[in-house]
Amino acid sequence: MKKIYISLGIIVGVLMGYFLFTLIKSTDLDILPYQIMNKYPHSINSYTQGLFFDNDTLYESTGSPDYLPQTQSVLGSLDLETGNIDVKAKLDRDIYFGEGSTILNNKIYQLTYKNQKGFVYDAQTFKEINTFTYPSAEGWGLTTDGDNLIMSDGTDRITYLNPDNFQVVKTIAVKRGDIAQRSLNELEYIKGFIYANIYQTNQIVKINPDNGEVIAILDLSNIVTQIREKSPNIAELNGIAYRSSTDTVFITGKLWPQVYEIQVKE
């Protein structure tokens, strides 16, 4: 039976790869070239759900699957010399699964997976100052355009929330050509566009927020393959953070041993 499962896994992988290739070709999307600038350590116990910069300090929020007892749902600054998180806030993993996070107006916002609840922390003291709810059944990725919170929920929908009263400002449906782009995960707002990890793929898509169209793809398959050869137990690519001071993007994944700093060539 094991051989059958392996064969089925190979077939599914081939079909998924063919589907993604066909989807890219059918919509004539640009493939964004990139260059690896640096590599930094990352804790293999960090199940990455959110990544963002506050000035030049990188922050990470993590989740805690039941089947990975070594994981925790925490939020804190990421030490790029050690790969460890200086924990600033911690959720009860028996109740909450931490998800995406971002900073806006000196407040840090963090989603949870299935509780329809978010947390707000003072960006200086990390004291919890508020909580909020959202209509999406699940919380996944979170970013900001400087005015609103922008969240994903694993579907093809992106929801804009007012950061003051958490009311829905608008939603956009994301499409790759005529096909709904589902599984939108971690988000980052970069130079007027939304970048999103696509769950269980090696792709980050670049989205036009005006109409929800996917206009380009960042394919990180080469990086994922390199890491998986040395660390076969890694999980999905997840985590995008833009550092404006260097015009570079930091990417990582769940249980990855490294964070990559890349320069995306538009």
Q: Give tens-digit pLDDT for 77-100.
A: 999 999 999 999 999 999 999 999
| Domain layout of the chain by residue ranges | 1-29, 32-264
Q: What is the mean pLDDT of residues 118-140?
A: 98
How many angstroms separate the CA atoms of 203 and 219, rounded? 5
CA distance 232 to 234: 6
In the predicted structure, residue 119 carries a pLDDT above the cut 60? yes
Confidence check: pLDDT of 11 > 80:
no
What does R_g of the chain's alpha carbons equal in angstroms?
18
Model pLDDT, residue 27: 55
Q: Is 102 left (phi over 0), alpha (psi -120 to 50) or beta?
A: beta
Average pLDDT over residues 122-133: 98
Confidence band of 220 (pLDDT split at 50, 70, 90): very high
Please name which of 177, 148, 179, 189 lies closest in space to residue 165, comparing C-alpha atoms: 148
Kindly indicate the confidence band of residue 108, based on its pLDDT and cuts at 50, 70 and 90.
very high
Dist. CA 65–CA 180, nearest whole Å: 28
For position 266, what pLDDT does the model report? 77
Retrieve residue 29's tokens. Answer: 């999307």
The domain made up of 32-264 has a fold known as Neuraminidase (2.120.10)
4 against 230, higher pLDDT: 230
pLDDT attached to residue 171: 98
Cβ neighbours of residue 248 under 8 Å, at least 6 residues apart? 37, 242, 261, 262, 263
Q: Is the pLDDT of residue 9 over 60?
A: no
Residues 6+ apart with CB under 8 A from 21: none
Q: Is 175 helix (H, G, I), strand (E, B) or coil?
A: strand
Residue 21 is predicted with a pLDDT of 47
